Structure 1
Amino acid sequence: MKKNAYNHFVFFVIAVLLFWFKTYIAYHLDFRLGTDNNLQRFLLFINPLSSALFFLGFALLSKKYFKRVLIGIHFILSFLLYANIVYYRFFNDFITVPDLLQAKSNAGGLGDSVVGLMAFSDIFYFTDTIILIVLACTLFKQATVKTWKLYKFVFLISIIIFLMNLSLAEKDRPNLLSLNFDRSYIVKYLGVYNFTIFDIIQSIQSSSERAFASSNNLTKVENYRKATYTTPDPVLFGKAKGMNVIFVSMESFQNFMIDLKMPNGELVTPFLDSLAHDGDTFYFDHFYHQTGQGKTSDAEFLMENSLYPLNQGSVFISKAQNTYQATPGILKGYGYNSAVFHGNYKTFWNRNVMYKSLGYDQFFDASYYNLTPPNIKNFGMKDKPFFAESMPMLENLKQPFYTKFITLSNHFPFEIDQGDTNFPKGNTGDWAVDQYMQSAHYMDEALQQFFDSLKKDGLYDKSVIILYGDHYGLSSNNYPAMAKMLGVKQITPVMDSNLQQVPLFIHVPGVKGGVEHQVGGEVDVRPTLLHLLGIDTKDYIEFGSDLLSPQHRNWVAFRNGDYVSTDLIMSSGKCYSVTTRNLATDQKACNNLSNKVKNDLQMSDTVVNQDLLRFYHPNGFKPINPSDYQYLGPTKKKGA
Structure 2
Amino acid sequence: MLQVVRDIKDNPHYGEAFYWIFFIFAILIKCIYFQFTTNINNEPYFSFTNLMMTISTFAIILMICAFIALVFNKKRIQALFVTNILLTALLIADTNFFRYYYDVITIPVFSNLDSRIMNSINQSISSLINVADIIFIIDFPVMVAGLIVLKNRVGEIQFYKRTIRSLVLLLVGVLTFLSVYGKVEITAFAYSNNYSAQNLGVFYSHFYSTKLFIREKLSEDDDITYEEKEMIKNMFETKNKERTGGRYSGIAEGKNLIIVQMEAIQSFIIGRTINGKEITPNLNKFINESIYFDNIYYQTAGGNTSDAEFLCNTSLYPVAEGAVYYRFYENTYHSLPKVLKEKGYDTYAFHGYDEVFWNRNVMYETLGFDKYISEKDYELDEFVGWHGEALSDMSFFRQSFDKIDTNKPFYGFFVTLSCHHPFDYFEDYDFDVGELQGTYLGNYIKAAHYADKCIGYFIDELKRRDLFDDTLLVLYGDHKAIPIVNAKELYEFLGLEEREDIWAKLQKVPLMIKYPNQNTPEVISRIGGQIDILPTISNMMGFDFPYALGKDLLNTDKEYAIFRNGTIVTDEYVYINCSRNVYDYSDGTMLDLELFEEEISSYLKELRVSDLIITKDLFKK
Same-fold status (TM-score > 0.5): yes
SS of the counterpart of 1:606? helix
Q: Name the structure 2 match of 1:619.
A: none
Q: Name the structure 1 match of 2:291.
A: 282
Q: Does structure 2 retain, via aligned residues, the 8 Å contact 1:213–1:612?
A: no
The superposition leaves residues 267-295 of structure 1 with CA deviations (integer Å, 9 ceiling, x where unpaired) of 1111111122x1x3010011111111211
Q: Name the structure 1 match of 2:50.
A: 41
What is the deviation of 1:588? 5.2
Residue 309 of structure 2 corresponds to residue 320 of structure 1: no
The superposition leaves residues 426-483 of structure 1 with CA deviations (integer Å, 9 ceiling, x where unpaired) of 5247721110110000000000011111111112121111110111110222222112
Q: In structure 1, how many angstroms separate the alpha carbons of the residues matched to 2:82 and 2:407?
A: 59
Q: Does structure 1 retain, via aligned residues, the 8 Å contact 2:345–2:411?
A: yes
SS of the counterpart of 1:466? strand
Q: In structure 1, how many angstroms separate the alpha carbons of the residues matched to 2:127 and 2:204?
A: 28
Residue 113 of structure 2 corresponds to residue 103 of structure 1: yes
Assess, with a 3 A threshold, how the Cα gap between structure 1 residues 192 and 369 changes in structure 2: closer, same or farther: same
Q: In structure 2, how many angstroms separate the alpha carbons of the residues matched to 1:408 and 1:366?
A: 11
- Counterpart amino acid of 1:445? K
- Counterpart amino acid of 1:350? N
Runs of at least 5 residues in structure 2 that lack an aligned partner in the other structure: 1-6
Higher mean C-alpha deviation, range 33-42 or range 328-337: 33-42
| 1:168-179 alignment runs, 5 A limit | 168-175=180-187, 179=189
Residue 145 of structure 2 corresponds to residue 137 of structure 1: no
Q: Name the structure 1 match of 2:208.
A: 198
Residue 426 of structure 2 corresponds to residue 389 of structure 1: no
SS of the counterpart of 1:464? strand
Q: Name the structure 1 match of 2:529.
A: 521
Assess, with a 3 A threshold, how the Cα gap between structure 1 residues 118 and 258 changes in structure 2: closer, same or farther: same
The superposition leaves residues 570-601 of structure 1 with CA deviations (integer Å, 9 ceiling, x where unpaired) of 1342111123321136x555223312211121
Q: Does structure 1 retain, via aligned residues, the 8 Å contact 2:261–2:475?
A: yes
The superposition leaves residues 42-83 of structure 1 with CA deviations (integer Å, 9 ceiling, x where unpaired) of 222222223322334444323343322221111011100110
Assess, with a 3 A threshold, how the Cα gap between structure 1 residues 375 and 479 changes in structure 2: closer, same or farther: closer
2:236 to 225, 232, 237: 225
Q: In structure 2, how many angstroms separate the alpha carbons of the residues matched to 1:88 and 1:601?
A: 22
1:555 to 560, 567, 583: 560
What is the deviation of 1:187? 1.0
Q: Does structure 2 retain, via aligned residues, the 8 Å contact 1:55–1:73?
A: no
The superposition leaves residues 160-213 of structure 1 with CA deviations (integer Å, 9 ceiling, x where unpaired) of 43454245233231536xx42121121122221222122222112222333112
Q: Does structure 1 retain, via aligned residues, the 8 Å contact 2:16–2:150?
A: no
SS of the counterpart of 2:348? strand
Q: Name the structure 2 match of 1:508.
A: 515
Assess, with a 3 A threshold, how the Cα gap between structure 1 residues 163 and 35 changes in structure 2: closer, same or farther: farther
Q: Does structure 2 retain, via aligned residues, the 8 Å contact 1:545–1:552?
A: no
Q: In structure 2, how many angstroms separate the alpha carbons of the residues matched to 1:201 and 1:123?
A: 31
Q: Name the structure 2 match of 1:460.
A: 468
Q: In structure 2, how many angstroms separate the alpha carbons of the residues matched to 1:210 and 1:474?
A: 35
Residue 306 of structure 2 corresponds to residue 297 of structure 1: yes
Q: In structure 1, how many angstroms separate the alpha carbons of the residues matched to 2:244 and 2:155?
A: 74
Q: Name the structure 1 match of 2:280.
A: 269
1:13 to 21, 25, 33: 21
Q: Does structure 1 retain, via aligned residues, the 8 Å contact 2:35–2:202?
A: no
Residue 616 of structure 2 corresponds to residue 614 of structure 1: no
The superposition leaves residues 484-540 of structure 1 with CA deviations (integer Å, 9 ceiling, x where unpaired) of 21133x233332122111100001112444101111111111111011111022xx2
SS of the counterpart of 2:278? coil
Q: In structure 1, how many angstroms separate the alpha carbons of the residues matched to 2:17 and 2:163?
A: 10
- Counterpart amino acid of 2:529? G
2:218 to 205, 208, 211: 208
Q: In structure 2, how many angstroms separate the alpha carbons of the residues matched to 1:398 and 1:158?
A: 72
1:118 to 122, 129, 137: 129
What is the deviation of 1:317? 1.3
Q: Does structure 2 retain, via aligned residues, the 8 Å contact 1:237–1:533?
A: yes
The superposition leaves residues 352-372 of structure 1 with CA deviations (integer Å, 9 ceiling, x where unpaired) of 121121111111111112335
Assess, with a 3 A threshold, how the Cα gap between structure 1 residues 214 and 415 changes in structure 2: closer, same or farther: same
Q: In structure 2, how many angstroms separate the alpha carbons of the residues matched to 1:375 and 1:413?
A: 13
Residue 256 of structure 2 corresponds to residue 250 of structure 1: no
Q: In structure 2, how many angstroms separate the alpha carbons of the residues matched to 1:584 and 1:307?
A: 30
TM-score with structure 2 length normalisation? 0.91
Q: In structure 1, how many angstroms separate the alpha carbons of the residues matched to 2:384 and 2:490?
A: 30
Assess, with a 3 A threshold, how the Cα gap between structure 1 residues 34 and 209 changes in structure 2: closer, same or farther: farther
Assess, with a 3 A threshold, how the Cα gap between structure 1 residues 211 and 313 changes in structure 2: closer, same or farther: same
Q: In structure 2, how many angstroms separate the alpha carbons of the residues matched to 1:59 and 1:161?
A: 14
Q: Name the structure 2 match of 1:495.
A: 502
What is the deviation of 1:554? 1.7
Q: Name the structure 2 match of 1:240.
A: 252
The superposition leaves residues 600-630 of structure 1 with CA deviations (integer Å, 9 ceiling, x where unpaired) of 2111111111111112xxxxxxxxxxxxxxx
Q: Name the structure 2 match of 1:574.
A: 581
Assess, with a 3 A threshold, how the Cα gap between structure 1 residues 108 and 198 changes in structure 2: closer, same or farther: same
How many matched pairs? 603
Higher mean C-alpha deviation, range 154-163 or range 565-574: 154-163
The superposition leaves residues 293-323 of structure 1 with CA deviations (integer Å, 9 ceiling, x where unpaired) of 2111111111111111112111111111111
Residue 538 of structure 2 corresponds to residue 533 of structure 1: no
Q: Does structure 1 retain, via aligned residues, the 8 Å contact 2:326–2:359?
A: yes
Q: In structure 2, how many angstroms separate the alpha carbons of the residues matched to 1:315 and 1:275?
A: 32
Q: Does structure 1 retain, via aligned residues, the 8 Å contact 2:476–2:509?
A: yes
Residue 605 of structure 2 corresponds to residue 599 of structure 1: yes
- Counterpart amino acid of 1:116? S
Q: Does structure 1 retain, via aligned residues, the 8 Å contact 2:314–2:336?
A: yes
Q: Does structure 1 retain, via aligned residues, the 8 Å contact 2:310–2:316?
A: yes
- Counterpart amino acid of 1:567? E
- Counterpart amino acid of 1:542? A
Q: In structure 1, how many angstroms separate the alpha carbons of the residues matched to 2:164 and 2:337?
A: 59
Assess, with a 3 A threshold, how the Cα gap between structure 1 residues 175 and 231 changes in structure 2: closer, same or farther: closer
1:154 to 149, 163, 166: 166
Q: Does structure 1 retain, via aligned residues, the 8 Å contact 2:81–2:147?
A: no
Q: Does structure 1 retain, via aligned residues, the 8 Å contact 2:35–2:201?
A: no
Q: In structure 2, how many angstroms separate the alpha carbons of the residues matched to 1:241 and 1:526?
A: 14
Q: In structure 2, how many angstroms separate the alpha carbons of the residues matched to 1:455 and 1:552?
A: 34
TM-score with structure 1 length normalisation? 0.89
Q: In structure 2, how many angstroms separate the alpha carbons of the residues matched to 1:497 and 1:26?
A: 21
SS of the counterpart of 1:409? coil
The superposition leaves residues 210-265 of structure 1 with CA deviations (integer Å, 9 ceiling, x where unpaired) of 31125965443122210232224334111101111111111111101111111x21
- Counterpart amino acid of 2:522? G
The superposition leaves residues 311-343 of structure 1 with CA deviations (integer Å, 9 ceiling, x where unpaired) of 211111111111101111111110111111101
Q: Name the structure 1 match of 2:3.
A: none
Q: Name the structure 1 match of 2:98.
A: 88
Q: Does structure 2 retain, via aligned residues, the 8 Å contact 1:428–1:481?
A: no
Higher mean C-alpha deviation, range 317-326 or range 221-230: 221-230
SS of the counterpart of 1:391? helix
SS of the counterpart of 1:324? coil
